[in-house]
Amino acid sequence: AARLLLLCAASGLLLAAVAAIPPPEEAARMARYVLHSCDWGALATLSAQEGLRGRPFANVFSLSDGPPGPCGGSGVPYLYLTDMEISVQDLEVNSNASLTVSLAQTPYCRKHRYDPQNPLCAHIIFAGSIVKVNDSEAGLAKKALFSRHPEMESWPKDHNWFFAKFNITNIWVLDYFGGLKIVTPEEYYSVKP
């Protein structure tokens, strides 16, 4: 297992040096690539808060689909949440949400001088719902999140943190000119980033 992990890490460094982002005609692969490249996303809920009830409410959350590198991405966006968080309170009333991740948070767009709104600075919009992970998936979620966000391990225990995942029902990809591309969850999960 340690040799495989070392091989994956070495492969990741080599691939990172030579690999390019997926071409525009591979929208499912682009969606996987962007999610795996991102450490956080904007999660939009329907607010349950007084004065905002029923209105869209976006908030930033750390996320991970697996450890960094080419061998780690499952495609499942995992989150570490607490009921004390305002967006989680919204999700307790209505678990439907959308999640946006963008290469704007990586060096890619800055290197190419792409504005975050430029379609070439790819971003992905997922629609679906947030669900708590079961005990059999908690270890995978923990490894995915804590490998990218080690600070999470020291967050206050009395906040009752739990692992959750974004259950994807719809995917839109904007990575080139000409509008959004629709990718099905089946297409998305059948490719590697």
Residue 13 pLDDT exceeds 50: no
pLDDT at position 155, please?
97
Conformational region of residue 152, where left means phi above 0, alpha means psi within -120 to 50, and beta covers everything else? alpha
What CATH number is given to the structural domain containing 83? 2.30.110.10
- Beta-carbon contacts of residue 85 (< 8 Å; ≥ 6 apart): 59
3-state secondary structure of 158: helix
Q: Give CA separation, 79 vs 13, 164, 179, in Å.
A: 26, 5, 29
Is 121 within a domain? yes
Q: State which residues form the domain around 100.
A: 40-190
Tokens representing residue 62 in the block: 């750390």
pTM for this entry? 0.88
Own/partner pairs for 63-66, CB < 8 Å, 24+ apart? 63/38, 63/39, 63/99, 63/101, 63/145, 63/166, 64/39, 64/144, 64/145, 64/147, 64/148, 64/149, 65/35, 65/36, 65/144, 66/36, 66/143, 66/144, 66/147
Is 16 within a domain? no
Total Cβ atoms within 10 A of residue 190: 12
Is 148 within a domain? yes
- Beta-carbon contacts of residue 100 (< 8 Å; ≥ 6 apart): 41, 42, 44, 123, 124, 125, 126
Q: Give dist(CA 40, CA 101) in Å, integer.
A: 7
Is 50 within a domain? yes
Report, as an integer, the average pLDDT of 184-190: 98
Is 79 within a domain? yes
Q: What is the pLDDT of residues 93-122, one digit of tens each?
A: 999 999 999 999 999 999 999 999 999 999
Is 30 within a domain? no
Residue 3 pLDDT exceeds 70: no
Task: Domain count for the chain, please give it.
Answer: 1
Q: What is the pLDDT of residues 154-165, one digit of tens each?
A: 999 999 999 999
Is 35 within a domain? no
HSE on the CB side for 110, CA within 13 Å? Answer: 4
Tokens representing residue 119 in the block: 């379609």
Mean pLDDT over the full length of the chain: 91
pLDDT at position 10, please?
39
Is 48 within a domain? yes
Q: What is the pLDDT of residues 44-101, one digit of tens each?
A: 999 999 999 999 999 999 999 999 887 659 999 999 999 999 999 999 999 999 999 9
